[in-house]
């Protein structure tokens, strides 16, 4: 797959940069999908891809998703993403991260990076030694800290909005929520759900995550596999691990009435959103409800204030409700309605860039 001949759903990027530093072992790709609303913002994923093609596919897909996420979140930021091809446990080093930081700096502010799968706050602190264009740093370095805090909070707000739309009440009290993935975001989400009075069923491949659950929330039921989770009697399914959770195998057996989770790119391919709608399953678009993290790190650019960022993340409740109502009015799945809202804002606000300033 070539960059200029990528499938239609992955094309349209402004810039794709391949970065290599042989001494440190760095192999990275930075993809800028759009700067119509401002500098592109998106995290850096450190992952042992099976091939360069797989890494390229992921970064192109994720960067486009970030553009739509930032637009719907009301941020004056475009969309971008980066991937570092390698094993974060075996390959990550100060030298590699700083080499990557210099490549980010070389883009002159077109792209701001942040945490993602395989990268953490402490990594952003190292990267910031080489570039000004990094968010998600630790509080000791003037940053916003762990962005999973407001990611989970935003997903919870989106879930409340979906519950209000589906059942007429903005709470998960008395409902059973299945959480797939007890990682950085899933842990916080489970706490919000329990505090709201929901019953939680969870799964994760990590034994460490299972141990955390038994210690922290012993009343939460644990199932061994995601397949067992989606086939159980749950009201809401919350995918909080890697993408592609909603596919031709999972949707037909899914018993939940709502899907609302933190994972990116939950729809495995175009058309899955129609399959969900045909089964009467309400899908809260992933990039809408999981925008709390990007809202948190974007606030860092202004000089981070947690209370201000949380107030902004609270609006995910309103935006999710608006999209679900728009979907009903226009007779389209919520994923299509969300895309239309994002594209409208990128076009309308981006158009103002044609008014030249002195």
Residues with a catalytic annotation lie at 81
Average pLDDT of the residues in 260-286: 94
Determine whether the annotation assigns residue 184 to a binding site: yes
- Indicate the CATH number for domain 148-289+321-342: 3.40.50.720
pLDDT (tens digit, 9 = 90+) per residue, 161-184? 999 999 999 999 999 999 999 998
15-68+78-142 has which CATH code? 3.40.50.10860
**Rounded Cα–Cα distance for residues 358 and 342 (Å):** 29
Distance CA 268, CA 246 (A): 6
CA distance 303 to 30: 25
Q: How sure is the predictor about 243, in pLDDT bands with cuts at 50, 70 and 90?
A: confident
Q: Is 79 annotated as a binding residue?
A: no
Q: What's the pLDDT at 314? A: 98
Query: Which residues, in sequence order, are bridge partners of residue 32?
Result: 15, 80
Q: What is the mean pLDDT of the chain?
A: 94
In the chain, the percentage of residues whose pLDDT exceeds 70 is 97
Tell me if 149 is assigned to a ligand binding site: no
| CA end-to-end distance (rounded Å), the chain | 42
- Given this chain, do its domains 15-68+78-142 and 148-289+321-342 carry the same CATH topology? yes
Cβ-based neighbour number of residue 217 at 10 Å:
18
Please state the domain extents for the chain.
15-68+78-142, 148-289+321-342
DSSP codes, 209-237: HHHHHHHH-TTSEE-S-HHHHHTSS-SEE
pLDDT band at residue 27 using 50, 70 and 90 as cut-offs? very high
**Token representation of residue 112:** 């701001």
The reply, when asked if residue 181 is annotated as ligand binding, is yes
């Amino acid at each position: 797959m070539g960059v200029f001949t990528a499938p239609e759903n992955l094309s349209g990027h402004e810039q794709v940069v391949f970065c290599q530093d042989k001494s440190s072992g760095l192999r990275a790709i930075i993809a800028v999908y759009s700067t119509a609303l401002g500098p592109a913002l998106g995290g850096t994923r450190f992952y042992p891809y099976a091939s360069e093609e797989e890494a390229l596919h992921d970064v192109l897909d994720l960067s486009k998703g970030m553009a739509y996420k930032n637009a719907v979140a009301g941020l004056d930021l475009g969309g971008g993403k980066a991937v570092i091809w390698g094993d974060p446990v075996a390959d990550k080093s100060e030298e590699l991260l700083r080499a990557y930081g210099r490549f980010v700096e070389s883009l002159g502010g077109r792209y701001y990076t942040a945490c993602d799968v395989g990268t953490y706050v402490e990594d952003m602190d190292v990267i910031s030694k080489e570039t000004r264009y990094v968010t998600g740093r630790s509080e000791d370095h003037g940053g916003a800290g762990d962005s999973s805090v407001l990611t989970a909070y935003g997903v919870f707000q989106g879930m409340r909005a979906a519950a209000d739309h589906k059942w007429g009440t903005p709470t998960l009290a008395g409902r059973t929520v299945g959480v797939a993935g007890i990682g950085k975001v899933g842990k916080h989400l489970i706490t919000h759900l329990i505090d709201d009075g929901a019953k939680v069923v969870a799964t994760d491949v990590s034994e460490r995550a299972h141990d955390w659950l038994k210690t922290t929330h012993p009343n939460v039921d644990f199932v061994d596999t995601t397949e067992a989770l989606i086939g159980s009697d749950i009201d809401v399914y919350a995918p909080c691990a890697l993408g592609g959770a909603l596919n031709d195998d999972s949707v037909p057996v899914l018993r939940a009435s709502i899907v609302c989770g933190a994972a990116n790119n939950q729809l495995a391919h175009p058309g899955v959103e129609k399959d969900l709608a045909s089964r009467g399953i309400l899908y809260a678009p992933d990039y809408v409800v999981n925008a709390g993290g990007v809202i948190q790190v974007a606030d860092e650019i202004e000089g981070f204030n947690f209370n201000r960022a949380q107030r902004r993340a609270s609006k995910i409740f309103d935006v999710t409700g608006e999209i679900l109502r728009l979907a009903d009015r226009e007779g389209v799945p919520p994923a299509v309605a969300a895309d239309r809202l994002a594209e409208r804002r990128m076009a309308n606000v981006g158009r103002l860039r044609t008014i030249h300033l002195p």
